Amino acid sequence: MQAVLRLIPLCMAAAGALAEDAAFEKREAMIPARDGVRLHTVLFTPRDASGPLPILLERTPYGATDSEKALAARYPHLVADGYIFAFQDIRGRFKSEGQFVMQRPPRDPKDPRSIDEGTDAWDTIEWMIHNVSGNNGRVGILGISYGGWLTTMALLDPHPALKAASEQASPADMFLGDDFHHNGAFRLSYGFEYAAMMETAKEANTHFEFDRADTYQWYLDLGALSNVNDRYLHGTLPTWNDFVNHPNYDEFWQKQAFPRYIHSPKVPNLNVGGWWDQEDFYGPLKIYELFEKDDPAHLNYLVAGPWNHGGWARMDGSRLGEIPFDSNTSKFFKASIEAPWFAYWLKDKGARDFPEAMVFETGANRWERYDSWPPRSAQPSNLYFRANGRLSFEAPADDGSDSYLSDPAHPVPYRHRPISPTYPGGGWPAWLVEDQRFVENRPDVLTWQTEPLKQEVHIAGDIMAELFAATTGSDSDWVVKLIDVYPESNPENPSLAGYELMVADEILRGRFRESFEIPRPIVPNQPTAYRIDLHTNDHAFAKGHRIMVQVQSTWFPLYDRNPQKYVENIFLAKDADYQKAQQTVYRSRQYPSHVVLPVVR
């Protein structure tokens, strides 16, 4: 593509000279995409480069990195290795032209005039290799969260100069498992607040102004979802309108999801995720799984560590909340995994000895190398719900059930109250590791647990809940949580005495038990099977700990309240539609509710 735009020095003092102590020459460019839209890009070239260098590209909707200080803080390990860095505002955000579309779907390849984030990445790379001096013709791309999704989009039809990638914490399916929904259940507080942040202003990340310190109470006072547009948004946010207009897994959501687009990888890709990612844990594991289906050249790799969303880039990873990991896991990732990854593919340095999966085993606090994920050494073992709140690897020999009343007017909070807004800051980043004792004695939360373990139970791989339950309503949500219960005596770390650490969790909206495309009412008072994917993990339940499972039907305001009466579109439900329901979980010979654990023998 012909360069038609200017390249303007930005790193200028008032007198117009470059700062003498700057390690980089900093410039900005408005890079033309194929449809004429110009994309604002900030370029950093090392001033002391001894030869041609590869380019590392990061694309973002949150505002491109525009200072050397921020660059050095974000990528110290890569700065030390020597790269040209490029940071770009995606179209319609901050200083880039064009219209912003949340999760713009992949284009129709039959239409030569169509564009998407992949073509914008392609056009950017084409421009840079011809117009950025001192590059060696190789480009790497990486990013976290939305930036990880943008990275994956660049891999669907990669530019020939794109030689390495690292998708990190990318969403993969916004209806089944990432930011906006899990198994069809709407992520209310995140979806509402994120849409307000992204679509209120072009050149800023704005935050909805709550008039209460406790957003739990604010969302409860809001009432039915239909009140959102009536009282606050008035149809002004495109993403909220999309939620309302697409309550099921229709073409709108399916065309954004990656399963129909990801095929055999053409570019080496390092997928990175965190076990306690509060936003996109599903995504990187799903993207890895999709690429892994057809990877004859062995270009697809996985890293999973003890982090929250992007925690490997923002914290030292030695702990999350109250939970210690006994080492600087983020430094290990940066120095021993990410830096060697890009150095090998972009600079021909080092050896190609990357493990298929490099995974941190929580509980034991050690890194493990696997030649496949899930590991072949794990065997599925059923852990059954039993009488008197017990869990056992032995199946029930009698009949029984446990019940609770689910009241939408008094939903179970998903973290300790007061619940601060999702953004900025507050308790959102580490809520997944909060001590679950704050809900254990609620009458609408059922709890089962093992006796203290006589030996370590190590799980590595996919976790599943097989729930047999009935409701007096015609719709219901089912939440299952797998918890590591610490001993009551913990002299080495008293703050963890009796701690209940959530290891895996998920929700299923009952109407989608058979199909996400075609919801169906639940038959009241009829035992019904629910299969709930608790995803994948690598965790050691230590000797003396207990394994706990909790079941509940509300998780608020992270998830909207199910009316518990079937309505065609919950986003259009009225306050009068919400009703109490008696929930029954069976633990019998005929209906043996249990979780399936991938136990390493």
Amino acid letter for position 395: A
Q: What are phi and psi of 79, to 5 degrees?
A: -60, -40
| Residues 6+ positions from 591 with CB-CB distance below 8 Å | 401, 468, 527
**Whose CA is closest to 391, among 329, 333, 453?**
453
pLDDT, residue 20, reads 45
CB 529 within 8 A of CB 466: yes
How far is Cα of residue 95 from the mean position of the Cα atoms in its chain? Answer: 27
Q: Strand, helix or coil at 124?
A: helix
pLDDT, residue 18, reads 40
Q: Is 153 exposed, middle or buried (0-12, 13-18, 19+ CB in 10 A)?
A: buried
How many CB atoms are closer than 10 A to CB 130? 13
- Which residues are bridge partners to 469 per DSSP? 528, 585
Q: Which tens digit of pLDDT belongs to each residue from 223-268? A: 999 999 999 999 999 999 999 999 999 999 999 999 999 999 999 9
Beta-sheet pairing, 446-449 with 546-552: antiparallel
CA distance 168 to 552: 31
Domain boundaries, the chain: 1-142, 378-600
DSSP string, 267-283: S-EEEEEETT-SS-SHH
DSSP string, 19-60: PTT-SEEEEEEEEEPTTS-EEEEEEEEETT-SS-EEEEEEEE
CA distance 124 to 122: 5
pLDDT, residue 8, reads 32
| CATH numeric code, 1-142 | 3.40.50.1820
Q: Which tens digit of pLDDT belongs to each residue from 68-87? A: 999 999 999 999 999 999 99
- Which residues are bridge partners to 552 per DSSP? 479
Q: Which residues of the chain have pLDDT under 50?
A: 1-20
CA distance 66 to 58: 12
CB 225 within 8 A of CB 571: yes
CB 583 within 8 A of CB 405: yes
CA distance 564 to 473: 5
CB 562 within 8 A of CB 475: yes
What token pair was written down for 466? 């097989």
Helices (H), 64-116: 68-74, 76-81
pLDDT, residue 19, reads 46
What homologous superfamily is domain 378-600 in, according to CATH? Galactose-binding domain-like (2.60.120.260)
pLDDT, residue 21, reads 64
**Whose CA is closest to 165, among 148, 178, 180?**
148
* Radius of gyration of the chain, Cα coordinates, nearest whole angstrom: 25
| Matching residue, tokens 């690598």 | 538
pLDDT, residue 363, reads 98
CA distance 84 to 82: 7
